Chains A and B, each alone.
Chain A
Amino acid sequence: MNEVKEQIFSVSEITRSIKFVLESNFEKLSIEGELSNFKAHSSGHWYFSLKDEEAVINCTMWKGVNNYVFFTPEDGMKVIITGRLTVYAPRGSYQIDVRTMKPAGVGELQAAFERLKRKLFDEGLFDEQYKKAIPFFPKKIALITSSEGAAVRDMISVAERRFPLVELLIVPTKVQGADAAREIVENLAKVNLLKNIDVIILARGGGSIEDLWPFNEEIVARAVFKSDIPVITGIGHEVDFTIADFVSDLRAPTPSVAMELATPDQEELKGIIQDNSSAIVSSINSILDEYRSEIEYQINSYTFKYPLEKVRNYSQQIDTLNIMINNLVEKKLLTNNSRILLLSKTLEGYDIQKSLKKGFALIRQNSKFVTRKNNFNKSETHTIQFYDGEIKI
């Protein structure tokens, strides 16, 4: 048997044989293992190893295929891959050409979530001091969300109902699957280039942890943190917390609530307006009432009554004076009357008739009394008046 001539292969020949044997026997593999030495090369290809306690196996996952992995692999994560064994002749090595990769269990994603959460927390990305205030009256809100589905429709109808003065900018974005995280990051950057956006709502409807995974990616968390425009997250349902929620300026349990938090309610605003206008009405009424009662007080006050009193006092005084005057006048009149009587009696003494009676006579010429000799004209007739009659001569 020793005589049998050993066949001698060239390296290439034997490698070809090994390649054929191995590759044809390990065409469809599913392997569970822990990721290590994960490298996402700038070419887009992924290089990593899978290991367990006792063995390690090299893997490649080509660009174009790795697009379908919904999460970013990281060392330590347990994954299940499918693929085939390939032999790389130039290096004489074998490796797994990976077709699909998924977490070995939900626990793996949970663990990745906790790791990232811890890391970003330690870096201070969740700190309150970085939370930007959400403006009360937003003029324009950018919605980074899928342009299809219930989430965007719900948000539009909430905006319509609550605050139709606002303008919505819808930024259609993939929110699920391998490209989603990158698209979210890009769109956050794009919106930040626009100058007139007051608030960003980053939203997605409900789904499984795998569906929501883009929002647990580190690049998304960092992009949310970096945004100069305040970001409200509304991702999944009430119970779903994502890393993006921790980083965002305000977390809403759902997309609809995110829109509610972003907009004032017009019914409330109308209430505020109504309250103001009734406050204004009651203020003006109480101001007017104050003036009214002030005027009333003044009118009823002693100061305003006093002039009436004074008038009465004056009129009484006038009455008194009148009486006095009347009295005085009457007295004067009486005195005068008696004086007149006296005078007339005195005058009576000088009465012509009395003189005539005593024997004096009056001479009249041209109906004038002649009282002096020089006034007597001898050539004219004259009348002599006696007490008992006249004689014409």
Chain B
Amino acid sequence: MSKKKSLDSFEDKLKRLEAITEKLESGETGLEQSIVLFEEGIKLSKECISILNKAELKITTLQKELNNISTNDED
């Protein structure tokens, strides 16, 4: 999974998680839907924690990026 993708999915998952919490707290969901949402929410929170725990900082320098571009051009 690329860095960008995992961040995107982290952001999406967290947003979804918060939406689920809000929905369940509203008390407007039926029993069956509540249970489905509950299971999804617990799964999402585990995934979010796991994404954070596995994340590794990626560092590039502008110079390197420019070098990479020129190296690729020579190929």
Chain A residues with CB under 8 Å of chain B are 137, 139, 142, 147, 156, 159-160, 163-172, 187, 190-191, 266, 269-270, 272-274, 276-277, 279-281, 283-284, 287-288, 291
With A273-B45, A287-B34 in contact, is A164–B56 under 8 Å at CB?
yes
By a CB distance below 8 angstroms, the chain B residues around A172 are 61-63
The 7 closest A-B pairs by CB, nearest first: A283-B24, A277-B45, A164-B55, A280-B41, A284-B38, A171-B62, A170-B61
Contact across chains for A273 and B25 when beta carbons are under 8 A apart: no
By a CB distance below 8 angstroms, the chain A residues around B63 are 172
Contact across chains for A280 and B14 when beta carbons are under 8 A apart: no
By a CB distance below 8 angstroms, the chain A residues around B14 are 269, 272-273
User: Given contacts A164-B55, A165-B52, A269-B52, could you give 20 more A-B pairs where the C-beta distance is less than 8 Å?
Assistant: A156-B57, A159-B57, A164-B57, A165-B3, A165-B51, A167-B3, A167-B4, A167-B60, A170-B59, A270-B52, A272-B18, A273-B14, A274-B45, A276-B17, A276-B20, A280-B45, A283-B25, A283-B34, A284-B24, A287-B29
Contact across chains for B62 and A190 when beta carbons are under 8 A apart: yes
Central interface residue in A170, A272, A274, A277, by most chain B CB within 10 Å: A277
Tell me the residues in window 1-49 of chain B with beta carbons closer than 8 Å to chain A beta carbons.
Answer: 3-4, 6-8, 10-11, 14, 17-18, 20-21, 24-25, 27, 29, 31, 34-35, 37-38, 41-42, 45, 48-49
By a CB distance below 8 angstroms, the chain A residues around B35 are 284
Chain B residues with CB under 8 Å of chain A are 3-4, 6-8, 10-11, 14, 17-18, 20-21, 24-25, 27, 29, 31, 34-35, 37-38, 41-42, 45, 48-49, 51-52, 55-63, 65
By a CB distance below 8 angstroms, the chain A residues around B41 are 276-277, 280
Q: How far is the CA of A361 from the CA of B7 in the complex (A)?
A: 128
By a CB distance below 8 angstroms, the chain B residues around A281 are 38, 42
Give the distance to chain A from B5, nearest Cβ to Cβ, in Å. 10
With A266-B52, A273-B49 in contact, is A279–B38 under 8 Å at CB?
no
By a CB distance below 8 angstroms, the chain A residues around B24 are 279-280, 283-284, 287
Query: Chain A binding site: helix, strand, loop or mixed by DSSP?
Result: helix
Nearest A residue to B38 by beta-carbon distance?
A284
Contacting residue for A137 out of B11, B21, B31, CB 8 A: B11
Contacting residue for A169 out of B8, B20, B65, CB 8 A: B65
Nearest B residue to A274 by beta-carbon distance?
B45
Nearest A residue to B15 by beta-carbon distance?
A137
Q: Can you list 8 contacts pairing A with B, beta carbon distance less than 8 Å?
A: A137-B7, A168-B58, A172-B61, A266-B55, A272-B14, A273-B45, A276-B18, A277-B45
By a CB distance below 8 angstroms, the chain B residues around A160 are 57
By a CB distance below 8 angstroms, the chain A residues around B37 are 280
Contact across chains for B61 and A156 when beta carbons are under 8 A apart: no
Contact across chains for B59 and A165 when beta carbons are under 8 A apart: no
Nearest B residue to A162 by beta-carbon distance?
B57
By a CB distance below 8 angstroms, the chain A residues around B25 are 279, 283
Give the distance to chain A from B29, nearest Cβ to Cβ, in Å. 8
Contact across chains for B31 and A169 when beta carbons are under 8 A apart: no
Contacting residue for A165 out of B10, B21, B31, CB 8 A: B10
